[in-house]
Chains A and B, each alone.
Chain A
Amino acid sequence: MPIQYYIYFCLALFSIGIIGVLTRRNAIIVFMCIELMLNAVNLLLVAFSKLHHGTALAIDPATTVGTDGQLFVFFIMVVAAAEVSVGLAIIVMMYRNTHSVDINFLNRLKN
Chain B
Amino acid sequence: MNAIIFSAIMGVVMMFSGIITEKKSAISFVAVVALFILLAANIANTYGLCSISINTHDLLHFSKFGLYFNSILITAALIFVLLSGSAVEKVGNYAADYYALIFFVLCGTSILTSFNGLLMLFLGIEIMTIPLYILTGADKKNLKSNEASLKYFLMGSFSTGIMLMGIALVYGANGSFALTTPAAVPNSAGVIPVSFLLVGGYILLFVSMCFKVSAAPFHFWTPDVYDGAPTVFTAFMSTIVKAAGFFAFLVLFEANATLLGPSWKIMLTFVIIATLLIGNITAVFQQSVKRMLAYSSIAQAGFMLFALYTYNDLAKEGILLYAVAYCLATIGFFAVLVKVKDHSFDGFNGLAKAQPVLAFSAVVFLMSLAGIPLTAGFFAKYYMLAAVIKSGGSFWIVLVALVFAAISVYYYFKVIQAMYFKSGDPEIMEVSSGYKTAIVLVSLLVIAIGVLPSIVLNWFYF
User: Does A27 reach chain B (CB closer than 8 Å)?
Assistant: yes
Question: Does B223 lie within 8 Å of A109, measured CB to CB?
Answer: yes
User: Could you say which of B122, B147, B168 contacts A106, with CB atoms under 8 Å apart?
Assistant: B147
Task: Check A98 against B146 for contact (C-beta < 8 Å).
Answer: yes
**A31-71 CB contacts (< 8 Å) to partner B:** 31, 34, 37-38, 40-41, 44-45, 48-49, 51-52, 55, 65-66, 68-69
Contact residues, B146-171 vs A (CB, 8 A)? 146-151, 153-154, 157-158, 160-161, 164-165, 167-169, 171
Residue A93, interface by CB 8 Å: yes
Report the Cα distance A87→B157, complex, angstroms.
Answer: 9
- CA of A38 to CA of B195 in the docked complex: distance in angstroms? 24
A residues less than 8 Å from B227 (CB atoms): 109
Complex CA distance for A56 and B273, rounded to whole angstroms: 45
- A72 proximal to B (CB < 8 A): yes
B402 at the interface (CB under 8 A from A): no
Residues of B within 8 A of A41 (CB): 161, 164-165, 167-168
Nearest chain B residue, comparing its CB with the CB of A53:
B175
Is A109 a contact partner of B150 (Cβ separation < 8 A)?
no
List the A residue with the shortest CB-CB distance to B223: A109
| Choice from B123, B154, B176, B228 contacting A68 with Cβ under 8 Å | B176
Q: Among the listed stretches B133-141, B331-339, B436-444, which one makes contact with chain A, having 4 or more residues with CB under 8 Å of it? A: B133-141
- What is the minimal beta-carbon distance from A57 to any residue of chain B, in angstroms? 13
B119 A72 Cβ-Cβ under 8 A: yes
Q: Could you give, for residues 68-95 of chain A, a 1 whenever the CB lies within 8 Å of some chain B CB and a 0 otherwise?
A: 1100100110010011001100110110
CB < 8 Å A-B pair total:
121
B51 shortest CB reach to chain A, Å: 26
What's the Cα separation between A55 and B146 when bound, in Å?
49
In the complex, the chain B residue whose C-beta lies closest to that of A105 is B147
Q: Does chain A have a CB within 8 A of B130?
A: yes
Give min CB distance, A102 to chain B, whole Å.
11
B356 near A: Cβ within 8 Å? no
| Complex Cα gap A44–B151 (Å) | 27
Which residues does chain B contribute within 8 Å of A65, judged by CB atoms? 175
Residue of B nearest to A52 (CB): B175
**Looking at the complex, which one of B158, B164, B224 makes contact with A110 (CB distance below 8 Å)?**
B224
Beta-carbon contacts of B216-233 to A below 8 Å, as 1s and 0s? Answer: 000000011101100000
Minimal beta-carbon separation of A90 from chain B (angstroms): 5
Min C-beta distance of B167 to chain A, whole Å: 7
Report which of B153, B161, B172 forms a contact with A87, defined as CB distance below 8 A: B153
Q: How many residues of A contact B (CB 8 A)?
A: 44
The reply to whether B122 and A75 contact each other, CB–CB distance below 8 Å, is yes
Shortest distance between the CB of B99 and any CB in chain A (Å): 18
Q: Are B151 and A106 in contact (CB under 8 A)?
A: yes
Residue of B nearest to A56 (CB): B175
Per-position 1/0 for A15-39, Cβ under 8 A of B: 0010001000001001100100110
Q: Are A109 and B161 in contact (CB under 8 A)?
A: no
Q: Does B126 contact A (CB under 8 A)?
A: yes
List chain A residues, Cβ under 8 A from B168.
Answer: 10, 41, 44-45, 48
In the assembled complex, B410 has its CB within 8 A of some CB on chain A: no
Q: Is the CB of A21 within 8 A of B151?
A: no
**Known A38-B164, A68-B176, A86-B133: A97·B146 in contact at CB below 8 Å:** yes
Residue in B123, B150, B165, B171 whose CB lies within 8 Å of A75: B123
Q: Contact between B154 and A34 (Cβ–Cβ < 8 Å)?
A: yes
B143 an interface residue at 8 Å Cβ cutoff?
A: yes
Residues of B within 8 A of A97 (CB): 140-141, 143, 146
Q: For residue B157, which residues in chain A have a CB less than 8 angstroms away from its CB?
A: 31, 34, 83, 87
Query: Is the CB–CB distance between A72 and B167 below 8 Å?
Result: yes
Task: State whether the Cβ of A12 lies closer than 8 Å to any Cβ in chain B.
Answer: no
Contacts of A72 in B (CB 8 A): 119, 122, 167, 171, 177
The closest CB in chain A to the CB of B176 belongs to: A68
CB pair A76–B164 under 8 Å, yes or no, is: yes
How far in angstroms is the closest Cβ of chain A from B224?
4
Q: Is the CB of A21 within 8 A of B158?
A: yes
Partner of B165, one of A37, A82, A91, A103: A37
Q: Are B130 and A83 in contact (CB under 8 A)?
A: yes
Set of chain A residues within 8 Å of B228, measured between Cβ atoms: 108-109
Judge if B144 is at the interface, Cβ distance under 8 Å. yes
Q: Tell me which of A10, A52, A83, A109 contacts B151 (CB under 8 A).
A: A109
Q: Which residue of B lies closest to A7 (CB)?
A: B172
Q: When chains A and B are docked, how far (Å) is the Cα of A49 from the Cα of B171?
A: 8
Give me the interface of A with B, judged by CB distance under 8 Å. 3, 7, 10, 14, 17, 21, 27, 30-31, 34, 37-38, 40-41, 44-45, 48-49, 51-52, 55, 65-66, 68-69, 72, 75-76, 79, 82-83, 86-87, 90-91, 93-94, 97-98, 103, 106, 108-110
Across the A-B interface, give the 9 residue pairs with the lowest CB-CB distance, nearest first.
A37-B161, A109-B224, A48-B172, A52-B175, A41-B164, A44-B168, A34-B157, A106-B147, A79-B126
Task: Please give 18 more A-B residue pairs, beta carbons under 8 A apart, in addition to A108-B147, A108-B228.
Answer: A17-B161, A34-B157, A37-B158, A38-B164, A41-B167, A48-B175, A55-B175, A75-B123, A82-B130, A90-B137, A90-B150, A90-B153, A97-B146, A103-B151, A106-B151, A109-B151, A109-B225, A109-B227
The 10 listed contacts between A and B (C-beta, < 8 Å) are: A21-B158, A30-B154, A72-B177, A75-B123, A76-B122, A79-B123, A83-B157, A90-B146, A93-B137, A109-B144
